[in-house]
Chain A
């Protein structure tokens, strides 16, 4: 039974809290509105349609300073953030699993090396690591006056790696669609394989047919388009008077950020993997060894599948951290979302409230989406616990 006096007090305290928060928000908004009006800034997202007029070093979509709007700049930044975080997530997962497993290997040197790696990378600020990688990458590359060249259309210099860029417009858009179709078909294969295992039949092979579908379908589509007399247009990089022009440019900033982020996150993933491996009861390992499975088989068939249940939740939050950490790009000048939008666009337009809100909304959306997926996974994992 609830105490009526207590519930009155609860209501009162909460009402006061709501009122206080609302007053605070109102005062802040009123002050901001007044100051913005004094600076002659029009509130709202109308500024996104204005011409940007600045260039961006690396862009996945065609972007020209002369015609682009702030909306284009936002998209370029967002795509660059997603590109570098996506690649860093893949690389750091591979490296992190290798090092995490090495920490529990039978080889003494491998264990010691993995421990040193984890302690070294975890205990240094990412910002410092990025500075070091940036200097190291630039020292290692050939000077821009004398770039290295492979074949007709790939150059490498201190200004970056230049590759031919296919233009997927018109009929050529079928190629990316084929990639999506390949991924979908692989998903169906995985389901069929799971069903076969559940029914006690031999699993359907997934790895090679899947790789063939994801890579082969778009290649086939591109070949078919070429045979039909409408090949995918390609923008080739070429040596200009000062620099290499055209094509797809991957800058040293990108390389430094990618290496730095991947190696840093890998240290954290290694710790997650290690705690996952430790969570599997040693009886499992011993029973599998008694059934004469080799060390690799024990790991692959018995320990890792059980460890994954412990590994996946912290792993996803580490992936989110990687995405958020990619915002350190601003330090070495890689044009990610924060650099392009919170840096250049904010300085040019002074639309502080809108720019900050939009940038934070992007990261919050990513976080919320991940949290939702994670909750569903946890519910499923809890349901299948044996």
Chain B
């Protein structure tokens, strides 16, 4: 029988092909992973060459040629030491207290230390998923801790804590304070704004949309400038605003707009059936939100919240532009110290700052990723 396919159906067998030469072993692995084709090979060689140049350079600068001890810039000058000089860690060692506390009085430094400890305690309580009574942890971090921190840092003469002007605060302390205020203010405000944006009441909805889109539409630096020059203008009479408080207000409003969008994403991911079922059970709308929708929504946006916090932590560096002595600004001030003038000092200062910010941001990002994988595992079950 003739069929239409006959014209192109093969009539003879193809001779068997030889087996692939190598499927296992390091050579085959290198072929598939590093030299699959000539372009891959070029990329591999280029990256290897870059590593061969960069790694020894970084190692020499950071460790091998670094100066670890010394009391002035002399110790870090190659012509004085008589050998090539890498990072001047002695400089960081001498300035470490200044970098941590700014000009906070030396006798009172136990107060920022206690503040850091209290903060670490609260943060651990919130971040460790197996911790007992995490709701109490939230109450501590968002209600008790801010009050304690204020009393501790600014001082409370009634309790025997001498007042310390905010102009003396600096360094890591200010960076942490600015980030903390941003977090503590933006999370509740952001949740309210996100709920308001989904409200049935047009006035509330449009007020929230306007607020959120305004702050999200302008750069943070303009917000800080605005807080600096306009906040005093808007307040009545002779009310003055502390120079540290002005950028804090700006950062809090700015961060809450971003937080609101993160929370809104979570609210949108909760199926409407949840709300409807809660209402059908006789809960009021507020009860349904508080007991059914929000807990689920907040749980799934934890990675988003942590990512916003990373952004916030990086953005706190901008307060240095409006004259607040945050970590970057005291670092710049420290490296301008004439006693420590040496060619390696600026690079050392920036390397130290980079290690610090990278350490904090990268570990936060890892935490967010961990939560995300946990949530994904829960969904997959």
Contact = CB atoms under 8 A, between A and B. Distances in A.
B176 to A, nearest CB: 15
Interface string A333-366: 0000010001000100000110010011001101
B250 to A, nearest CB: 12
B62 interface: no
B326 to A, nearest CB: 10
B147 interface: no
A18 B236 CA distance: 21
B350 A128 contact: yes
B269 interface: no
B321 A331 contact: yes
A360 B226 CA distance: 10
B235 A328 contact: no
Interface residues of B, number: 54
Contacts of B207: 17, 21
Given A127-B320, A356-B229, A32 B43 contact: no
B380 interface: no
Chain A: number of interface residues, binned into ranges: 35 or more
Contacts of A14: 201-204
Contacts of A202: none
B195 to A, nearest CB: 14
A110 interface: yes
B321 A352 contact: no
Interface string B331-350: 01000000000000011001
B225 A342 contact: yes
B219 interface: yes
A239 interface: no
A105 B200 CA distance: 48
A268 to B, nearest CB: 11
Interface string A27-67: 11001100110000000000000000000000000000000
Contact of A127 (B44, B47, B216, B328): B328
Interface stretch (A68-76, A118-126, A159-167): A118-126
B314 A328 contact: no
Contacts of B347: 135
A35 B235 CA distance: 10
Contacts of A148: none
B217 interface: yes
A279 interface: no
A344 to B, nearest CB: 12
Given A127-B328, A128-B357, A328-B318, A18 B40 contact: no
A367 B222 contact: no
A107 B201 contact: no
Which 8 pairs show the lowest CB-CB distances between chains A and B? A367-B217, A123-B361, A14-B203, A324-B219, A28-B234, A125-B314, A327-B219, A127-B317
Given A31-B233, A124-B357, A127-B320, 4 more contacts: A14-B203, A107-B43, A353-B230, A359-B222
